[in-house]
Amino acid sequence: MTVIDSTPVTPPPLLSCTAGGAAGPTRPRTDGQDRYTISQVAALTGLTAHTLRWYEQIGLLPDVQRSATGQRVFDRRDLERLAFIGKLRVTGMSVAAMVRFAELTRQGETTADERQEVLEQTRRDVVARIAELQDALVALDEKLACHVSAHGAKERAGTSS
């Protein structure tokens, strides 16, 4: 991965309610100027070109457009999909589950209920995970409090070792 310094890449604004999850069942053709090469997308997302190709290959990021010469042409929609994939990744969802979700999305409106259930379950998982982490935070703070009080006592007693 080399640093891209030519053709400055401007991250597009993310739309709110579009096909972030995976491929939408229909994709409006990219007629505008939001075209990104794989290395630009790599730079924007922090993923490697390898990983981007892999995502496409396993069906996590399907239907990436190609130029007449066969090169991948990513657009804003793909970046949105990748952004949402990033969110799902943060939640701890496995790649296999994300692929499954992408497939459901591709299947269109008929899978809306199932997708909603997946999202709600994921939401519950995230809430639980946050609670766990906050629990851990409490434990850390208790430990730190011990350290501080022990240190304070030490300071007061002048035992510096």
Could you tell me how many residues of this chain bind a copy of itself (CB under 8 A)? 42
Instruction: Specify the residue, 50 or 123, whose C-beta has the smaller distance to a copy of itself.
Output: 123
Q: Which sign, positive or negative, has the C-alpha torsion 48, 53, 56, 58? A: negative
* Phi, psi dihedrals of residue 65, rounded to the nearest 5°: -70, 160
Residue 53 interacts, among a copy of itself, DNA, none and using kind-specific CB cut-offs from 5 to 8 Å, with DNA
Instruction: Specify the residue, 19 or 52, whose C-beta has the smaller distance to DNA.
Output: 52
Instruction: Specify the residue, 57 or 86, whose C-beta has the smaller distance to a copy of itself.
Output: 86
Residue 82: closest CA among 99, 60, 53:
60
Q: Which of 30, 39, 51, 122 binds a copy of itself (CB under 8 A)?
A: 122
Residue 94 interacts, among DNA, a copy of itself, none and using kind-specific CB cut-offs from 5 to 8 Å, with DNA
Q: Is 153 in the site for a copy of itself (CB under 8 A)?
A: no
Residue 157 interacts, among DNA, a copy of itself, none and using kind-specific CB cut-offs from 5 to 8 Å, with none
Site for a copy of itself in 129-148 (CB under 8 A): 129-130, 132-137, 139-147
What's the gap between Cα 108 and its chain centre? 22
Which parts of this chain interact with a copy of itself (CB under 8 A)? 16-17, 20-21, 84, 87-88, 90-91, 109-110, 112, 115-116, 119-120, 122-123, 126-127, 129-130, 132-137, 139-147, 149-151, 154, 161
